[in-house]
Amino acid sequence: MTAQSSRPADAPPSWVDSLPARLQSYARLSRFDRPIGFWLLAIPCWMGLGFGALDVGWQALNLIYGLLFGLGAIAMRGAGCTYNDIADKDLDKSVARTAQRPLAAGDVSVRDAWIWLFAQVAVGFVIWLVLPLPAKIIALVSIPLVAAYPFMKRITWWPQAWLGMTFNWGFPVGYLTAGGNDLIWPVLFYLGLIAWTIGYDTLYARQDVEDDALVGIRSTARLFGDHSLPAITLIYGVSALFVGLAVTNGGPRIPGTMIAIAFLAHLVWQLVIFKVKGDAVALRLFKSNRDAGLLIVFGLIVTVVLMATFS
């Protein structure tokens, strides 16, 4: 165990830098210095709550559930990153961007990382206990998705699709928590979110194409290569289409159309910037998807409020 904690090459300056070295290591294992992952895990849960409320109306308890989903996203994203780093410890040593991550650099032992992992899972378990039974059941289905994800980049060129299924599983959990009772439109919404994740994580993976090729890590960024822009354009188009169909048919058409247009406009903006500036802005565009997702969340909340006001 080293006495110092080194900041990984891809870690931005953050409040984590002010922590004692020992605590920094655990905070970096959970990516507390990179909160975009917390947002991208919580946002589908909030989308599910809002979309489910279109079916049955907004309940005051949904606000509590929203806060719990936010806390759960922090705990479970941290647990997922810790698990991913345990599985990828040797691979991370071979990639310049990840070589200084706590496990790869030896700042945390594998045994201590497992203890930290289970501590975070315990927080998620407590939140799971208070969910309605249908949401509890569907949440359990995510366990094999999460467990298998770190290995997908070794066996398929589409690990981003697996990430999409995993990261957006909070949508059906949130939908059932709110009491949603439809089938077709929430499924289409979920498929649209999977496509959205494939697109934004392909952008993220553009940073690592050369290193990934050296160590044999597969990704859609490597698969698409020089055709990444048209591929992401197509994938984002599918995402906007599916989400747009869901929100315009699963609730009032006019607000749904406005939500769909706002989401599409943000995705188009990303594509334009990527075409002009290329991989140099890949990380910034990836992070901007927090705002793309929040546009949908806020739109759904406003729609539910309008429905309650004018019903």
Q: What is the mean pLDDT of the chain?
A: 92
The per-residue pLDDT for range 118-133, each reduced to its tens digit, is 999 999 999 999 999 9
The yes-or-no verdict on residue 17 having pLDDT over 90 is: no
Containing H/E element for 79?
A: helix 61-87
- Taking the C-alpha atoms of residue 201 and residue 47, their distance in angstroms, rounded to an integer, is 19
Question: Using CA atoms in the order 276, 200, 178, 188, what is the torsion angle rounded to 10 degrees?
Answer: 90
Q: What pLDDT is attached to residue 5? A: 54
- Taking the C-alpha atoms of residue 218 and residue 223, their distance in angstroms, rounded to an integer, is 8
**What would the DSSP string read from start to end of 189-243?**
HHHHHHHHHHHHHHHHHGGGHHHHHHHT---HHHHHGGGHHHHHHHHHHHHHHHH
Q: Quick one: average pLDDT of 78-91?
A: 90
The yes-or-no verdict on residue 215 having pLDDT over 90 is: no
The yes-or-no verdict on residue 303 having pLDDT over 60 is: yes
- Which one has a higher pLDDT value, 21 or 290? 290
- Find where tokens 């290193």 sit: 211
Confidence of residue 2 (pLDDT cuts 50, 70, 90): very low
- Rounded to the nearest angstrom, the gap between the alpha carbon of residue 258 and the centroid of all alpha carbons in its chain is 24
Confidence of residue 216 (pLDDT cuts 50, 70, 90): confident
Q: What pLDDT is attached to residue 13? A: 81
Which CATH number fits the domain 20-310, given the four candidates 2.40.10.220, 1.10.357.140, 3.40.605.10, 2.70.70.10?
Answer: 1.10.357.140
Q: What is the DSSP letter of 12?
A: P
Confidence of residue 185 (pLDDT cuts 50, 70, 90): very high
Q: What pLDDT is attached to residue 287? A: 97
Q: What pLDDT is attached to residue 79? A: 95
Confidence of residue 105 (pLDDT cuts 50, 70, 90): confident
Q: What pLDDT is attached to residue 9? A: 58
Q: What is the DSSP letter of 17?
A: G
Most confident of 7-16, 85-94, 137-146, 210-219: 137-146
- Taking the C-alpha atoms of residue 140 and residue 39, their distance in angstroms, rounded to an integer, is 21
Domain boundaries, the chain: 20-310
Q: Quick one: average pLDDT of 194-199?
A: 98
Neighbours of 61 (CB within 10 A): 12
Q: What pLDDT is attached to residue 1? A: 38
Confidence of residue 34 (pLDDT cuts 50, 70, 90): very high
Q: Quick one: average pLDDT of 2-25?
A: 74
Q: Quick one: average pLDDT of 202-227?
A: 90
**What would the DSSP string read from start to end of 132-184?**
-HHHHHHHHTHHHHHHHHHHHHHH-S-HHHHHHHHHTTHHHHHHHHTT---SH
Q: Quick one: average pLDDT of 213-236?
A: 93
Q: What pLDDT is attached to residue 116? A: 97
